[in-house]
Structure 1
Amino acid sequence: MSTYRAVNVSAPARLAGPPDPRLAHLLRGLTLTGLVMVLLLPAAREHTQGLGWLPLWLVGMPLTAWWSLYRFRLPLGAGRQARSAAPPRRRRRGSQARRRKSSRSGLRTAA
């Protein structure tokens, strides 16, 4: 009989140290280079048959890799802080609402 243990996915992210600074520097450079290319070169904003939409590969993918290097941490914005300060909503206790019986009894018949 095999033993299955549930693993908390966020635990390794909290325990892991900071990412490799060389890789962070490389991804930051690729992202900024791609952004400059998309902004300054019209050819970098096109769609090609082989690669598809170039801004995705020049900006989007390096930016996603850079974000994942930091283990998908999201910046804590003002809206998120306001929600966390509010008390949690309470759920009503009791049974589920019931449907009302129709005032019309039976189906209408076509004359």
Structure 2
Amino acid sequence: MTVSTPSDRSADAAHADLDTALRYALAIGGLLVLMLPAARGSHGAIGWLPLWLVAMPAVAWWALHRFRLPAWRKAEAGEAAATPRRRRRGAVQARRRARPAVIARPMPRAA
């Protein structure tokens, strides 16, 4: 049994508020990119607009959930882990070959 402190509860509330804000930002940014041709372009000061309207809120939302993979990816990974993997042979690490000795020849003199 774990006991939650008031700071844990306030952190959970802040987490939920941030989650909601990021979902709204992602939805609004996606709609802007889909509906407004100008939102698909680039701005001189901030760069490519779909990056800031869609990709950055999506990555921030993903980071808020600590980079968890979707459930369907976990199911596939579990099935793949059940199949036996081939073992690699223990190979010896490659060694460098010795360079042949270079004999210094005198340079021909220009006239």
- Which TM-score bucket, shorter chain as reference? 0.5 to 0.7
TM-score by length of 2: 0.62
Residues 10-66 of structure 1, C-alpha deviation per residue, up to 9 Å, x if partnerless?
A: xxxxxxx79711110000000000000000011100011111110000000000000
In structure 2, the residue corresponding to 1:50 is in which secondary structure?
A: coil
Cα shift at 1:81: 3.6
- The count of residues paired between Structure 1 and Structure 2 equals 82
Gaps of 5+ in 1: 1-16, 98-111
1:1-111 aligned within 5 A:
20-75=15-70, 76-77=72-73, 79-93=76-90
Name whichever structure is richer in helix by fraction: 2
Gaps of 5+ in 2: 1-11, 95-111
CA-atom RMSD, angstroms? Answer: 2.6
| Cα distance in 2 between the residues matched to 1:20 and 1:45 | 30
Query: Percent same amino acid among aligned pairs?
Result: 48
- Over 4 Å off, 4+ runs: 93-97
Structure with bigger RCO (C-alpha 8 Å, 6+ apart): 1
| Cα distance in 2 between the residues matched to 1:64 and 1:25 | 14
Over 3 Å counting, the alpha-carbon distance change for 1:51 and 1:92 in structure 2 is same
TM-score by length of 1: 0.62
